[in-house]
Amino acid sequence: MTDVLQVLSEQGDIDNSLIPDLTEERMVELYRQMLTVRQLDTRMLNLQRQGRIGFYGTCKGQEAATVGSGAAVGPDDWVFPALREGGVLLLRGFDLDKYTAQLVGCALDPTHGRQMPCHFSSAEHNYVSLSSVIGTQINQAMGVGWAMKIKGDKNVCLGYMGDGATSSTDFHAALTFAAVHKVPTVFVCQNNQFAISVPFSKQTASNGIAIKAHAYGMPGVAVDGNDVLAVYKATQDAVARARAGDGPTLIEAITYRIEGHSSSDDASRYRDDAEVEMWKKRDPIERFRRYLTAAGLVDDSVVEEIATKVKNDVDAAIKAAEASPMPSVETIFTDVYAEMPAHLREQRDQTLNESGGGENEGAFPL
């Protein structure tokens, strides 16, 4: 394996020669964001077990890889998530109430309950819908990056994938085109060691993912994915290269998926508890907290204040989503055509007549 970039040791000690360009306030903000993702995961998995949402996939253990990379792009750049980057949408200013509403599928949900839970999207935030079809978004991130280059934009694309997605043909096509055409796309692979039940050792015989970049003709950077400052630094450097016209980079954030693949998975059937326990000790949030505390950026009372605020914010967002009515029947017919064709207009009118109008509280039971 190539060298692995680390800025914070597992104990939270910093390598000052590698410290990224981040203000102290922004560092504390990143900590709050990581904690928000963790709190959402905890609450939402419980809600799924209680039958209050249908499905959920956590990011637990991967908060540094997600938040650290997502924080390194600007509001005009575009993000193509894989499966676990909902936190990046929050970083981009997406409302927490809308986030929980998407999971509940109520009227507050901008996608009107028409998408599977966790499949967030927001054109307003340059954040393309999560694609459950593994690998598709790698090509989309390359293609949009290529379009930006042709148009002469100074924006970049951030394209995420899991380790499993690197075995898809899309990975090969996207990296080939991106390097040949010097496309301003930064590819971030969250290597969480599993593609559902397939361990990384069965995914590839390669010595890591980052090394594959060299064959395509772009830099490959392996980074400690549980070190938010290292992930931020690697992404910031790659974004600067892309913006300067120097082409794509492949970043491999080495991390671990602490929970099952999704709420439908029982990971104890294919991996050892001891391995999970070992990775829990490398918790990215705790590591960053140790650093922030040692650097004097927070103390115990500030840490507690942040945790309480995050908990209250998530509680309030869940309450708001659960208090919202279900989407109106009419939304079944909207957002597909700029001008609704006659046959759909007819079906809509018939449906609205039968349902007694657009307001639909209770028509779809919670």
Ligand X SMILES: Cc1ncc(C[n+]2csc(CCOP(=O)(O)OP(=O)(O)O)c2C)c(N)n1
Out of 132, 207, 308, 312, the only residue in the binding site for ligand X (CB under 6 A) is 132
Q: Which stretch binds ligand X (CB under 6 A): 24-32, 45-53, 159-167, 327-335?
A: 159-167
Which DSSP symbol is given to 40? Answer: H
Lookup: tokens for 78: 């575009």
Residue 30 CB neighbour total at 10 angstroms: 23
The rounded distance, in Å, linking the Cα atoms of 351 and 345 is 10
Annotated catalytic residue, options 43, 119, 125, 257: 257
The rounded distance, in Å, linking the Cα atoms of 119 and 114 is 10
The rounded distance, in Å, linking the Cα atoms of 150 and 145 is 9
* 96 HSE (CA, 13 A, CB side): 18
Confirm if 47 and 69 have CB atoms less than 8 A apart.
Answer: no
Confirm if 103 and 130 have CB atoms less than 8 A apart.
Answer: no
> Is-catalytic flag, 270?
yes
Q: Does 22 bind ligand X (CB under 6 A)?
A: no
CB of 3 to ligand X, least distance (A): 23
Binders of ligand X among 294-333, rule CB under 6 A? none
Q: Which stretch binds ligand X (CB under 6 A): 28-36, 38-46, 187-195, 297-305?
A: 187-195
Provide φ and ψ at 191, rounded to 5°.
-85, 95
> Is-catalytic flag, 38?
no
What mask, x for binding ligand X by CB under 6 A, covers residues 29 to 68? ----------------------------------------
Q: How many residues does the chain have?
A: 366
Q: Which stretch binds ligand X (CB under 6 A): 163-171, 241-249, 336-344, 349-357?
A: 163-171
Residue listed under structure tokens 């593609």: 195
Tell me if residue 158 falls in helix, strand or coil. Answer: strand
Q: Does 241 bind ligand X (CB under 6 A)?
A: no
| CA-based nearest residue to 228, from 90, 72, 74, 75 | 72
Nearest residue to the partner ligand X, using Cβ: 162
CB of 278 to ligand X, least distance (A): 18
> Is-catalytic flag, 261?
yes
Q: Does 83 bind ligand X (CB under 6 A)?
A: yes
Residues near ligand X (CB under 6 A), total? 16
| CA-based nearest residue to 283, from 67, 84, 44, 62 | 62
Q: Does 134 bind ligand X (CB under 6 A)?
A: yes
Q: Does 195 bind ligand X (CB under 6 A)?
A: yes
CB of 152 to ligand X, least distance (A): 33
Q: Does 163 bind ligand X (CB under 6 A)?
A: yes
Q: Which stretch binds ligand X (CB under 6 A): 94-102, 132-140, 146-154, 336-344?
A: 132-140
Lookup: tokens for 127: 């954040």
Question: Interface residues with ligand X (CB under 6 A)?
Answer: 83-84, 132-135, 162-165, 192, 194-196, 257, 261
Task: Write out the catalytic residue numbers.
Answer: 257, 261, 270
